[in-house]
Chain A
Amino acid sequence: MTYFPEEVVEHIFDFVGSHRDRNTVSTVCKAWYQVERLSRRTVFVGNCYAIRPERVMARFPGIKSLSVKGKPHFADFNLVPYDWGGFALPWIEAAARRCPGLEELRLKRMVVTDDGLELLARSFPNFKSLVLISCEGFSTDGLAAIATYCRGLRELDLQENEVEDHGCQWLSFFPDSCTSLVSLNFGCLKGEVNGGALERLVARCPNLRSLKLNRAVSVESLNKILARASHLVDLGTGSFAVDHRTDAYHTLMNSFPKFKSLRNLSGFWDASPCCLRAVYPVCTNLTVLNLSYAPAIQGDDLIKIICLCFKLQKLWVLDSIGDKGLAVVASTCKELQELRVFPCDIYGAGTTSVTEEGLLAVSSGCPKLNSLLYFCYQMTNAALITVAKNCPHFTRFRLCILDPGKPDPVTNQPLDEGFGAIVRSCKNLRRLSLSGLLTDQVFLYIGMYAEHLEMLSIAFAGDSDKGMIYVLNGCKNLRKLEIRDCPFGDIALLKNVAKYETMRSLWMSSCDITLGGCKALAAKMPRLNVEIINENEETDEFEENLSDLHKLEKIYVYRTVAGPRNDAPDFVWTL
């Protein structure tokens, strides 16, 4: 290979797609490193503090697509303080300076500001796609900047962000010359949008395939939009609630049959059963259906619509579907790959909406099932063992039994055997979340069998340090480990310190880690940032008086070549 001219090597590298392979290729020799770095078009940074943005841009000047993740996953559940970090601006600035060819930016769990969005909009003439997931810190003014300056924008995808509403005008900033939109998702915006501007925008973008409206968009407005967008593949419906005596309702009922390409439906924020009937004509073609924000649709109506969806691959519902509804899913949706069942009533009194029966039914009826997120009030070992046998193809298995530490209600045993069966049977399992009563035994199984496991989430489980040690010693491919409220202490933390450099990050909160343990870890592993997150108000006095025995509330450990970060707030100490 070394006798080939560079252009040939570069051409060969074009066929090397995955990040990991390209990373490996670049370590072979200096020549390959050079060729690879100059020809790399896509970079993924899993932890924004693992490397400085300037280094990334310097190494890969030709990138067209950049993807960066910020806060740890448990930030989704309010376990990470608000101003912990994860700022997007340094990344945007660095890219603006060194990589003006950037076309796509994808940010997850980061703090994005309006200034950052404006800089982004002005700096990249070929910018095509902005995807923001679970971000915060910006307002509709920032979106207006994107609309104004990004000529040729193809995709604006805002998923579950906290966006401050500064008015409905931002959509009007898309110039009349903007006709390139393919995907527009503003479902997470709380405020109204300018209906007329939206309709005109949809009308002049002939390539629009994905449109996800927010709750403020009324059925009247939706009707006008649908009249202009018959090539949609993916639709988020807006509020979808209207009085059945109105003209708007009748128009809605007649809108959907013409959508031959529609495959993906979501939204339904306020949908009532009679409005839901409007989509029956397209159900037979649907591959993705998300009804998880529609609490007004109860079990029987869910069943009516699911009966029609025999090509469904991905289904997100509320647990009001019940075991009965899941049985219908099992008998109808033979192509189902992903199922998510969310709780309707988050602080409920234990009303059993779905149980292990529902999961059993789906596992036996849907042979292609590989991804599960299931909230329920109870689960049995027997059911999990059967599920494991029925569905050996799980890659993602997340079970959340809502009562922490709840045992198998039939046998009163921990759920070790059930989860053990899952990891033993599902050889390709990459992501696992545990719940219920669990002892160290389940971690023994995980360490032994979960060879491809990359992400593990543990809560209220285990008996002793041994549990965590089994996992750290066993799971060869572990990248992210997040633990809360488990009796794991310094011994577990320090048993296999080299492991943390093979992982992206470790999160531990409400465990038995002490300051001394963290100090020891930081001393042994200089290329880790050991962050202590201390939200206690008496920080100042505490700092002086802290003994090594002081138990730490939250720690976040991650490998990095960037050293301790310079934007950490007061309550974060990096050892």
Chain B
Amino acid sequence: MSPPPEHDYTGGAVEDGALNLKETELRLGLPGSESPDRDDKVGLTLELLSPKSFVSGAKRVFCDAIDAGGGKWGFSAGEAGSEVENGKGSVLFTPKGEGSAGGKPPGLGRAGNDAAASGQAANSGKSHREVAPAAKAQVVGWPPIRSYRKNTMATNPPKYKEDADGKPGLGCLYVKVSMEGAPYLRKVDLKTYKDYRELSSALEKMFSCFTIGQCNSQGIPSRDGLSESRLMDLLNGSEYVLTYEDKDGDWMLVGDVPWEMFTDSCKRLRIMKGSDAIGLAPRAMEKCKSRN
């Protein structure tokens, strides 16, 4: 049989000597039997697997090692790939359920096939047959789809959804965004955001400082939105207001209408200085006051 394979063991790397290795060492086979090639293979080894398979991966490792070569451990000594608290490390080696030394949790023997990238030479013939359904684990070259297609589809995920009333939506909707005082305009794809908050934070990142009238997901300015302090800032002109030009050519304050209606009618965006937007703010103030 080949030398112990380099399986992807779940991470539970520990510093050498930090643990009492003897105690946490797992012995395969019936209690009392000694596992061969133990001498320099003592110790824990591991490289971290992806977090998803962290827990179940430990089981797979067990059974995989058990299957491969009937009872030989495949652990090899190695430096810690990454530090994990001792606590975690020891938990890993206390297998969940009953799968302790000699036991074999059912149904997981060939899952190891999936955990390791396909093509591990150590897989014995037996483990090929009943490969467990790939629960998010990826086998190299499976499914048999050309890389050209995979790459193309990866950059073209189906994010499109039609509106509930059947109005046709679009794959992307780029609109220009201008900002007072900025030397050039930007463009954003409105379809990549699902509400005002996302749009706001994206624009904030792009332009670094501005604000819009606060609104909740229905697009209705909340009571808290236009608080006094905020309005003071607006009026002082140190804040910015986000406005848009709609289908009719009018400049509107962003946030009044539901998001879908907004994306449908918005032709371009403009970030105005608060002082210029004075004309808009009072209306909002009135709305707010009438609610209060």
Contacts and interface: CB of A to CB of B under 8 A. Distances in A.
- A and B: real partners? yes
Contacts, number: 131
Given A78-B140, A244-B170, A405 B131 contact: yes
B143 A400 contact: yes
Given A243-B170, A463-B129, A485-B128, A77 B121 contact: no
A264 to B, nearest CB: 19
B40 to A, nearest CB: 16
A406 interface: yes
A350 to B, nearest CB: 8
A74 interface: yes
B121 A296 contact: no
Contacts of B252: none
A550 interface: yes
Nearest to A406: B133
Contact of B168 (A244, A293, A349): A244
A423 B160 CA distance: 41
A342 to B, nearest CB: 7
A295 interface: yes
B153 A489 contact: no
Nearest to B1: A549
Given A405-B130, A552-B121, A553-B121, A78 B147 contact: yes
Contact of A485 (B118, B152, B160, B173): B118
Given A273-B168, A403-B133, A552-B121, A293 B146 contact: no
A437 B142 CA distance: 15
Q: How large is the interface on B (under 10, 10 to 19, 20 to 34, 35 or more residues)?
A: 35 or more
B139 interface: yes
A346 interface: yes
Contacts of A433: 144
A44 to B, nearest CB: 22
B169 A272 contact: yes
Given A296-B171, A512-B125, A74 B141 contact: yes
A56 interface: no
Interface string A223-266: 00000000000000000011110000000000000000000000
Interface string A546-560: 000111111000000
A551 B128 contact: no
Interface in A151-169: 160-162
Given A241-B172, A273-B168, A296-B171, A487 B141 contact: no
A65 interface: no
A172 interface: no
Contacts of A161: 148
B265 to A, nearest CB: 10
Nearest to A547: B2
Interface in A253-308: 269-274, 292-293, 295-296, 298
B152 A293 contact: yes
A344 interface: yes
B147 A76 contact: yes
Interface in B188-204: none
B157 interface: yes
Interface in A489-517: 489, 509-510, 512
A343 B173 contact: no
Interface string B107-141: 00000010000111111011011110110101111
Q: How large is the interface on A (under 10, 10 to 19, 20 to 34, 35 or more residues)?
A: 35 or more
B156 interface: yes
Nearest to B162: A273
Contacts of B291: none
B119 A510 contact: yes
A570 B157 CA distance: 38
A134 interface: yes
Nearest to A404: B131
Contacts of B22: none
A87 interface: no
A525 interface: no
B205 interface: no
Contact of A293 (B121, B136, B153, B160): B153
A486 B128 contact: yes
Contacts of B140: 77-79
Contact of A346 (B141, B150, B156, B160): B150
Contacts of B172: 241, 270
Interface in B53-84: none
A192 to B, nearest CB: 15
Nearest to B132: A405
B164 interface: no
Contact of B143 (A134, A343, A486): A343
A550 B147 contact: no
Contacts of B146: 76-77, 134, 160
Contacts of A489: 125
A42 to B, nearest CB: 27
Contact of A296 (B142, B145, B152, B160): B160
Contacts of B181: none
B158 interface: yes
Q: Top 10 A-B pairs ranked by shortest CB distance? A: A487-B125, A77-B141, A295-B158, A274-B168, A296-B160, A160-B148, A403-B133, A241-B171, A79-B141, A405-B131
Interface of B: 1-2, 113, 118-123, 125-126, 128-131, 133-134, 136, 138-150, 152-153, 156-158, 160, 162, 168-173
17 contacts: A74-B141, A78-B147, A162-B148, A243-B173, A270-B171, A273-B168, A293-B156, A295-B158, A350-B133, A403-B134, A406-B133, A462-B129, A484-B141, A485-B131, A509-B119, A512-B125, A551-B121
